[in-house]
Structure 1
Amino acid sequence: MRRLFLPLSLLLFLGLNLMGPAHAGSRVLLRVSTPAVSDDWHAKMWTVFKESLDKQAPGEFDVQIHLNGTLFRQGAEPTAMARGNLEMASVSAFDLARQVPDFSILTAGYVIRDPKHQQAVLNGPIGESLYRQASERMGLHVLAPLYLGTRQLGLRSTRKVQTPADLQGVKLRMPSSKEWLFLGNALGASAMPLSLGEVYMGLKTGTIDAEDNPLPTLRATKFNEVLAQIVLTQHLVDSLFITLADKTWQGLSPTQQTKVRDAAQAAARFNNEHRLQEETQLLEAFKKQGLAVTTPDVAAFRQKVQATYSHSDYARSWSVGLLDRIQAAQ
C-alpha cells in the first residue's frame, strides 16, 4: 500500500501544479504603480481599467492600484517590471528612451504638434515600431498611449517672457533625468532636478523659480496656489504609456490579452477626453484665481529648442527618417 500511495500522491501533486493558477482558481495579479496623485486623471483612469476588466472578466484578475509612487518611485517601474517585481505601470517616453533611443524623439520640444497629431503618431505604424523595440529591448508590452497634457511654464513671480533669452537664470524644476534637464536648458532656463513631491515647497520657498507641467497637473498637485504666472510655451505634448510586463503578457491566454488590451484602451480614452476638456476649462479658472496667463513668441521658442536638439546626441540616435515620418503623420 505504501509503495502505491507515494506515487499516487506525487502524481496528484504534479497534476495540480501542471493545471496552473487559472485552473487552480487563483486570479491573475496585476499590481499597478504610478506617481500620479489621486485627483489626477491618469490616476483615476486606473480605476476605469480595473472596473472595465472586472466587468469583462469577473473573478479572473486582481488589479491592485498603488498611487503617489508608494510602490515604486517614478522612473523605477520599467526595471521593476523587467525583474518580475511589478506587472503594470504608466511609463513615460523619457523612461523608455533610456534603452530605446527612438523614444527620445517624443521628449524633444516642439516635435509633436498637438494632441491629435500625437494620437496619429502613437496609434499608427510609428507607434507600432516603437512598441516592438520596447518589447525586444526592455521586456515591456505597451497597451495604449496616453495624452498627459501640453506642458506650459509656471513661475512663482511674474516676469516678462517673450523669448528664451527672457528665461536666462531662471531656476526651472525638471524631473530627474538628463533628457528632462536637456529640455529645460533648451528652453533657455537653468534646469535643476527635483522630485514632484518637493515642487510645491520649492516654489513656496524660492528654491526654484519655475516648473513645467500640463495645466491639469497644476490643479491636481495644487501648484497653482504657489504660482503667479503661467507662460503658454506649449513646448511639449507629453505622452505616457499604459505598459504591462512582457512576462505577464505572455502568461495570459489570447482571450485574456484581448480583455486586458480593451480595458487599457478604455482607460486611455477616459484619461485623454477628460484631460483635453480640463485644459480648456483651467485656463479661465486660473485667470479668475488671479494668475497672470501670458503667451510668448512661441515661434522663437520653437526655433531655439529645435536648433538645440538638431545638434545633440539625441538627434543622432534617432532612426533615419523618423523625424520626417512623425512630421508627415496626419
Structure 2
Amino acid sequence: MLDTFTRRLLIGAAAAAAITGLTPALAADPVKLRISTPAVEADWHAKMLPVFKQELEKLAPGQFDVEIHLNGTLFKQGTEPAAMQRGNLEMAMISAFDISKQIPEWSIFTAGYLLRDPEHQTKVFDSDIGKEMYGLVEDKMNIKVLSVGYLGTRQLNLRTEKEVKTPADLAGVKLRMPGSDTWLFLGKALGANPLPVAFGEIYTALQTGAIDGQDNPLPTVRAAKFYEVTKQIVLTDHLVDAIFLSMSGSAWKKLDDKQKDAVMSAAKAAVRYNNENRIKEEAELASFFKEQGLKVYKPDVEAFRSHVQKVYLESELSKAWPKGMVERVNAIK
C-alpha cells in the first residue's frame, strides 16, 4: 500500500514538474508587430503585407501578432520613422525621401537616373552598397531595414501635344511635383518648370491647364484617371522608386536569432510578391493608355540621364553623397 501511495506521489510530482516547465512557453505572449502605411488596399505594397504576415506565421507559428494598418490610419505618411524611433510603432514602409531628412547621404537615392530599373535597384541594395547604407539607418536612426521593394518607375504624363525627346523640349512646361525641395529639384533637373501641387488637386489642375503635366508611376496614372485629362505619356524612366520595409531598432533587438531569420525571410517573400506583380502591371499599362487614345513613347533616355546626373553632381545636394557612390552604383550591372 505504501509503495502504491509513494508511486502515485512520484508520478504526480513528475507531472506537475512537466506542466510547470511548459508554463512559460504556453504563457508567452506573441510579439506584436503593428505595420503602418499610407497605402490603399489596392496598392501592391499594401497587398504584400498579408503575404508578410502569412509567411511569418508559417515560419514562426504563434510567435507573432501582426497588425496591418492601411490608409495612414495609425500614423500619417512621413511620420512613421519618428514613431518607430520613439518606440510607438514596430514596422513601416519608408522611402529614401523619409530617410534623407535625417541622413543626408541618403539623398543620393532621391536623385533621378541613378537606378536604371527594378532589377538594378535590387542588385544595388543587395550589394555592399546596400549593407553600408542600411548600416547608416540602423546606426543613426535606430531602424532596421528588412528589404527593399519596387514602388514603380516614374514617367512624364502631359496634357500638351509637343513631342518630348530631350530635356530641352520640357523648357517652360509646368510640371507638377510633390512639394519638397528634393522633388522640385528633380523636376527642374528634367528641364521643366516644377510646381508644387497636392496630389488630390492634380486632376483638376491638368483639366484646367494650371499645370501642363505630372509625373508618377503608370499604375498611379491609371488609378487616379489622369489619362482622362492628358494626351501623352513620355517613358522617361527618370526615377526608379523604392519602398523600404523596416522595423524599429527596439523591436528588432527584442527578437531572438530564429525570430530575426523568420522576419527577414517573410519580408523578402513579401517584397518578391510586390515586385513581380507591380512589374507585370506596369508592362501591361502602355497598351491600356494607347487604347485610351494617349500617345505613349520613349524619348532619348540617355540624353535625359546624362543631363540630369550632371545637374545633380554640380548641385549642393550631391555634396552630402558618399564619395564615389554614383560610380559604384553605375558599375553594378
Q: Is the 8 A contact 1:40 1:217 kept in 2?
A: no
Q: Which residue of 2 aligns with 1:114?
A: 117
Q: 1:177 aligns with which of 153, 175, 180?
A: 180
Q: Normalization by structure 2: what TM-score?
A: 0.87
Aligned-partner SS, 1:153: strand
Q: 2:199 aligns with which of 196, 201, 215?
A: 196
| 1:23-78, Cα deviation, whole Å (9 max, x unpaired) | 74433222212222221211111111112122222332222222222322222211
Q: Which residue of 2 aligns with 1:296?
A: 299
> Closer, same or farther in 2 for the Cα pair 1:188/1:26, shift >3 Å?
same
Q: 1:271 aligns with which of 274, 278, 302?
A: 274
Q: Which residue of 1 aligns with 2:33?
A: 30
Q: How far apart are the structure 2 equivalents of 1:263 and 1:304?
A: 40
Q: Which residue of 1 aligns with 2:8?
A: none
Q: Is the 8 A contact 1:145 1:241 kept in 2?
A: yes
Q: Normalization by structure 1: what TM-score?
A: 0.87
> Closer, same or farther in 2 for the Cα pair 1:201/1:35, shift >3 Å?
farther
Q: Which residue of 1 aligns with 2:237?
A: 234
Q: How far apart are the structure 1 equivalents of 2:80 and 2:197?
A: 18
Q: Is the 8 A contact 1:185 1:191 kept in 2?
A: yes
> Closer, same or farther in 2 for the Cα pair 1:72/1:155, shift >3 Å?
farther
Work out whether 1:63 is the aligned partner of 2:63: no
Q: Which residue of 2 aligns with 1:312?
A: 315
**Structure 2 spans left out of the alignment, 5+ residues:** 1-22
> Closer, same or farther in 2 for the Cα pair 1:35/1:205, shift >3 Å?
farther
Q: Which residue of 2 aligns with 1:141?
A: 144
Q: Which residue of 2 aligns with 1:218?
A: 221
Q: How far apart are the structure 2 equivalents of 1:75 and 1:279?
A: 26
CA RMSD of aligned residues (A): 2.1
Q: How far apart are the structure 1 equivalents of 2:301 and 2:28?
A: 57
Runs of 4+ in 1 over 6 A off after TM superposition: none
Q: How far apart are the structure 2 equivalents of 1:248 and 1:145?
A: 19
Aligned-partner SS, 1:70: coil
Q: Which residue of 2 aligns with 1:4?
A: none
Aligned-partner SS, 2:102: coil
Q: Which residue of 2 aligns with 1:259?
A: 262
Q: Is the 8 A contact 1:40 1:220 kept in 2?
A: no
% of aligned pairs identical? 55
> Closer, same or farther in 2 for the Cα pair 1:70/1:198, shift >3 Å?
farther
Q: Which residue of 1 aligns with 2:46?
A: 43
> Closer, same or farther in 2 for the Cα pair 1:109/1:240, shift >3 Å?
same
When Rg is computed on C-alpha atoms for both structures, the one with the higher figure is 2
Q: CA deviation at 1:245?
A: 0.7
Work out whether 1:327 is the aligned partner of 2:330: yes
Q: How far apart are the structure 2 equivalents of 1:179 and 1:102?
A: 13
Aligned-partner SS, 2:255: coil
Q: Which residue of 2 aligns with 1:281?
A: 284
Q: CA deviation at 1:318?
A: 1.1
Q: CA deviation at 1:135?
A: 0.7
> Closer, same or farther in 2 for the Cα pair 1:105/1:139, shift >3 Å?
same
Aligned-partner SS, 1:165: helix
Q: Which residue of 1 aligns with 2:78?
A: 75
Q: How far apart are the structure 2 equivalents of 1:88 and 1:111?
A: 27
Work out whether 1:98 is the aligned partner of 2:101: yes
Q: How far apart are the structure 2 equivalents of 1:34 and 1:158?
A: 37
| 1:98-139, Cα deviation, whole Å (9 max, x unpaired) | 222222212111111222221111111100000000011111
Please say which of residues 219-228 and 267-276 is displaced more in the overlay: 219-228
